Amino acid sequence: MDRMIGIDYGRARVGVAMSDPLGIFASPLETVVSAKIIDYLQKLTTSETVVRFVVGYPMNLNGKPAEAAADVDLFLKQLAKHFPGIPVELEDERFTSVLAHRAMIDGGMKKSDRRKKESVDRISAAIILQSYLDRNKDSK
């Protein structure tokens, strides 16, 4: 079954999300230490048929790349090197952390769990992927 992977890349941690086989829903999957993300994705791509990576790209309010974009650019080069057959789409990640916190509150997550940055990262990855899926649902 074809899956898409959403990625919220950060210097320390990477949030990962996965689509359902129909490409309708995104679900948070895991938070991985940045240094191990390529190994993690290699294992994931052997157990799942990954047809696309959707990577959150940090933008400023003025639409220009944010400072953290340089880290994402390096990661994108690693993705291209290790997964040449899997296309990569960039998704504007402005406000995903705010939306992730709101989703945790609305979902009834305890305050102590909401403080865990790992939770925010994987929920942000799901928001990035869901945004992409929603925007492209008619082009399948």
Q: What is the pLDDT along the chain (140 residues), one digit of tens a residue?
A: 799 999 999 999 999 999 999 999 999 999 999 999 999 999 999 999 999 999 999 888 887 878 888 999 999 999 999 999 999 999 988 756 656 556 655 666 566 655 556 677 888 899 999 999 988 886 55
Strands 2-9 and 88-92: unpaired
Give CA torsion, residues 111, 69, 8, 53, to 10 deg: 170
How much is the pTM? 0.85
What CATH number labels 2-139?
A: 3.30.420.140
pLDDT at position 60:
83
Q: Would you list the domain boundaries of the chain?
A: 2-139
